[in-house]
Structure 1
Amino acid sequence: MSDHATDPATEAFLTHRNLLFTVAYEMLGSAADSEDVLQETWLRWSRVGLAQVSDERAYLVRITTRQALNRLRTMKRRKESYVGSWLPEPLVTAPDVAENVELAESMSIALMLVLETLSPTERVVFVLREVFDICYDEIAAALGKTPTAVRQIAHRARRHVDARRPRASVSASQTRAALESFQRALRTGDPQGLLDVLAPEVVLIGDGGGIKQAVPQPITGSDKVTRFMLGGIRKHQVAFTTEPTMVNGSPALIFRIDGEIDGIMAVRLEDTRITGLYFVRNPEKLTRVESETPLSLR
């Protein structure tokens, strides 16, 4: 595409690229698959006569939506054979993403896991309507459905998500404070420090993708999670370090062993205590954590 930088089609695509990537990622939870969707979107867009397009942004979102829905159905079958728990691919984001409460909440690992429980069509409709505020008529055109049917799907998806999403939004500063306490307890090997910041019902989910060792099943309960975390750290006492970062619009931790990235841990907070720990160790999902990924709702 760089050879045609002055081409109007290319300029339009590049203008909306961050939005299109964000749309695809919110639907798929995979940066690699989202990039593939954008490539397919570009190929189809480059064959469109711009004279027939009245709204370039809407047209591009429509193409991206169709490609993402196709990919989502393929991924659903792929996940059935995934080794261990599947977590969304974490994206390191700029601090200003956290300031956009709507975007940060929609991208949180916790909410994206809730979206995994929707059907592909429900997820697409929910993302387009609730996250990007796209009208029912435009969603209907993208999916080849009637606006009435889309409204029904949106209502069903919203009800499903609302029943499972965190009960109250938590600020980035609250999450950062909880993570600092968690990080300090890990560094000092303080079990009581972990128990103080973990909710009794906390759940730890690990994703190694069958490439790196991870918990095969979620670990539930602050006592069990504390024992697991401290036991794992003792194996790497000298070489183990953590550092703060921003992942999917929220504070998170990078875990390193011998200076090399070993994993990314995101959290879910309710009130002031951690109720969810999401530890991605699959190296195929850590390829983008050395640089920020630009995102956009518009």
Structure 2
Amino acid sequence: MLSKSYAQMIQTKGNFLWGIIAGLFIIFGGLVSVPNAQAEILFEDHFNDASSLNKYTIIRGEAWIDNQRLNTRGYSGDWPRGSMVIPNGNPQWTNFKMSVKVQPIEGWHETMLFFPTQSFNFDPSGIGFIGQGYILWLDKSGPAILAPGELAQFDTISLQRVDCPAGGCPQNIVSTASLSPVDTPVDVNVVVNGGHFQVFLNGTRYMDYTDPNPLPAGGIGLGGVWETLATFDDLVVQDIGKSFDVCQNGGWRALTRTDSSPFKNQGDCIQYYNTGK
């Protein structure tokens, strides 16, 4: 049986060793800590003041900022009708998530999101577009024109592929989805992973499509159909490749949502980066 003094000596040494180990975890743990659960922001705009408009090129129609929202509208009777703005520069985004709040106000229920785009524009020869890229068309079946005071709704979305450098060819619808009418404003999340596209409205996935021959990387755009007054807010483009990486290999265990709640598993972590929920 160990003497009391000898046992105390062993306990003291053990506590000392555990103290050293704990200190090493504190020192080196800070050096190798898991990154914050925030993906790299490629572009962000909440339209807090009119100067935000300087970040964009107006491709068609008119655009302005009012009440902390981006407004776009096509010219009535000026063919080709419609509106589109794109962020300045020439981004080459491949794996990204675009999040934006969308709400038509006047004209038509319909709005458009463009991603990724290359030299995109309305085709001056008629209905359609020129350039290369994809269009998410948010629409409503039945009467498309908004009555005075009517709240816009979406019950149909379509993904359209445009590969028409010279013009004169219509866009090709590659995927569609029908849904119960969703009132606007609606939170739209588009996840682009190479040629794989997922579309979420208010956190629910409605579209999952893979293009076997994807078009080149590019930027994004916002716009409306014909003379629609469309509004956009809280535009964020994130690098999903890096955000997905931090969820993998057990990384989700050390991450939290912005409200500090933990993830249940890796899939829960990835879904959060997809949908924000």
TM-score by length of 2: 0.25
Q: Going by fraction, where is helix more abundant, 1 or 2?
A: 1
Structure with larger Rg? 2
Answer 1 or 2: higher relative contact order, Cα 8 Å, separation at least 6.
2
